[in-house]
A = this chain, B = another copy of it.
C-alpha cells in the first residue's frame, strides 16, 4: 500500500521535536537525547535509537558529546530538511513501482514493453516533488503549509 513505515513516522516526529526544542534561532541549540524523545512519544527507545543513528549517518542530525549529557542536534536548518530527505534516509530510495529510475537495477522483467511504466514514473516524480516541497520548518508552524497539486491532462490548455 501507500503508507509510511513506523520508523519514518518516528523520524519525523523526532525531528519535529528536536527542531522545536532548539527554538527559533537561539545560537546554543539544546542537545536532546534519545530517551527523552522516546518517552515523550511513547515509542520503543531501542528502535528510535536506530532511527536517530540512521538520520545521523545521513547528516540530517548530529550527535554531540558522546557521553552523559550527550544527544542530538539538527544537522542543518529546519527549512533545509525536507520530508523526502528524511524518508530516503530511513527507507532508501523511494519508488512507487519496482522500476524506480531509468537505471537497470530494477527487478521487473518487462520494463520496455510496459505500457504503464511511463505514467507511473510521472506520478512518482510528482510525489517526490511534493515530499520535497515540505520541510521540517513547515511542520513546526501551527498552521501547516499549503500544498497545491495541480494535475493537467496532456491536451491541457496550458500550452
Contacts and interface: CB of A to CB of B under 8 A. Distances in A.
A39 to B, nearest CB: 13
State the majority secondary structure of interface residues on A: mixed
Contacts of A151: 129-130, 132-134, 145, 147-148
Contact of A139 (B2, B3, B119): B119
A83 to B, nearest CB: 7
A152 interface: yes
A129 to B, nearest CB: 4
Interface residues of A, number: 60
Interface of A: 1-5, 9, 12-13, 16-17, 20, 41-42, 83, 87, 91-92, 94-98, 109-110, 114-116, 118-123, 125-127, 129-134, 138-141, 143-154, 156, 158
